[in-house]
Structure 1
Amino acid sequence: MSDEQRHPDLSFVVPAANETRWSDLLASLIATDPAPIKELVGGLPDAVRREVTVAGQVARRSDRLDLLLLRDGQQLAMIEAKVLADLGSQQLARYEAAFPEAEARFVLHLGSLPLSLMAAPRWRALTWEDVLSAFSESDHPWVAATARAWLRQLDSLVPRVDAETVWNDVPDDAAGFELALRTRVAWLASRMDAWCELEHDLEQSSGGGAWVAAIRVPSSSLGHKVIVEIQEGLPAQAWRPNPALAYRDRLPGPVVLVGLSQSGVITSADFDWPLLHQLFRDRIVDDSGAVVDGRAWQLTSANPRDAVDRANWQAIVAAGAPKWIGKGYGMATARTHAVCAFGARIQLDPWSTLGEIDAELQALQALIIEMAESVAS
């Protein structure tokens, strides 16, 4: 019997589109042999509960904690399991409030699809690869065999990317296309772990769907940071399937926002527009507003939609800033996500490889450090 034949096929037991099945099988592994998870969660559980209802949310199935590990009746660890889906808005905050006595909190995800935990600092990331690797060493034959087979299946769930992967070399089905873009941004974010000396993160865009890799450095203005953010530049309405035009033929390529962000706000009215203008002077534009930087900046007018944002943008334009500075997200996002950001965008070639994009991001890190230092008080 070949090695391939010795491993059971779990594709029907834990399909990628069904996180409930994944959590069910993991709960079975833990209940059968809890020892392998001890080092990962900080203690040996003696009981596991599934889909624990969050207080006050009985009618909402989405507000049920995936796994609650207990020891002597006490809450040892909470685990929220994800496969291809993202975290819901305020989901972790609701769980944390519902189970305040839990000693540890984890978000379980695929290693190649990390999730942003910036808004939930008391939660820690845990990967399916690490969990299943631990269970594959179990002394229990069924647990070990199941974990090994499950671990082998992970390789087929997410397309592999590397430095040679071309940005727009994506499948033409909607789900495959979205997953391909997510893996590209996730790869760029993982590369930042190796070279980025600044705060950096991977997160879902405020509009949903697209993923963003970001680099941030504090500025001289309270609550503001100089930023680089990269994501696919295809408008949200163009993500829908179109039989007449393949996804790879309509992608404009990754777009990079360079500018200034302000967080912890409910309005963009206090955004520091004069500082934004100052950041671009001399390094990107001269006193007349002409581009002195060699990058492919988008030179179309910014034209913010909100009346307050638009008035503030018009003020820096009147002071000499070019009209293409001021793109980003303002009042609406401040109200819904407590953040706003404005700046200018760079359009990268859709035929760029991830290695080429990574090199551009490294250069942009140096640029925003220089920008921040030039206006430091």
Structure 2
Amino acid sequence: MDSKKVAVPLVCHGHSRPVVDLFYSPITPDGFFLISASKDSNPMLRNGETGDWIGTFEGHKGAVWSCCLDNNALRAASGSADFTAKLWDALTGDVLHSFDHKHIVRACAFSEDTHHLLTGGFEKILRIFDLNRPDAPPREVDNSPGSIRTVAWLHSDQTILSSCSEIGGVRLWDVRSGKIVQTLDTKSPVTSAEVSQDGRYITTADGSTVKFWDANHFGLVKSYNMPCPVESASLEPKFGNKFIAGGEDMWVHVFDFHTGEEIGCNKGHHGPVHCVRFSPGGESYASGSEDGTIRIWQTGPANNAESDAQSGNGPITTGKAKVGADDVTRKMEDIQISKVGKTGERESA
């Protein structure tokens, strides 16, 4: 095999249970960041380029199913099985607010203007919290046909996307009326839904299929059958010429967007892949697995520094961290978000 095609990932340990959600921030003046959700109840923040561990958000008392960062990576949010969604200060790790629910919170998303937090879960209710008035009652949209699995914002916060755990399809809601304006039909429940960085496509994974939808006219653009049931898919954000998918076979597959041809297959996880996401610049992508690890794969040939780094058991250091990201790390060294000697350096189970 051509050695240039062998991907050597950065392996990020730290979580003690399966990693079930990943989210990259946009590129900020301090670089970009990666937050992960895990059944161990402790979301983790990392340097998105190097995988360096920055901190662990402590406070949830149940599995964390969803996580996200706002556009400036200054605040984080998470949804948990402890019936809460939490808003965090991403610099200090402090809980800014805890939003109580009556059942498991499965999904959360910041609005594009970062003023609102959207949540959904087993209650079958979409809730929109005003982050400028966090103590105010949320706006509720309560006619979801099933428990909510994924949520996202579209069209400059005018439209909400949601999918359900038990039934197929993606529902698009008009924020002003609270009504479903369109349903994207799928045979199986949609386990992953991503809006492309340029706002053109919605990428969904359902069963053994990855589909791409026109985000403005809602037509089906492409549909590809996968080699196994997949749980997550992500479109390359810069050129839109390839996508990744991960699922039951424990591999991260890379496909050509235009033809559906498989152009790469990354092996290394020791359990099903629950989530995959491209970095905001498209130079790498991350995968989270049942094995408790996050792996960051470069889209280009791996260099020696990355090869050396991948064998470490703690936070990965490759020497590529940007000054801004280092500054953020220093700010977080004396905060109360983590047990650095335990969580930060724990090997995966």
Q: Which has the higher strand share?
A: 2
Looking at CA atoms only, which structure, 1 or 2, has the larger radius of gyration? 1
Q: Which has the higher helix share?
A: 1
Q: What TM-score results when the alignment is normalised by the length of structure 2?
A: 0.23
The structure with higher relative contact order (CA 8 Å, sep 6+) is: 2
Q: What TM-score results when the alignment is normalised by the length of structure 1?
A: 0.22
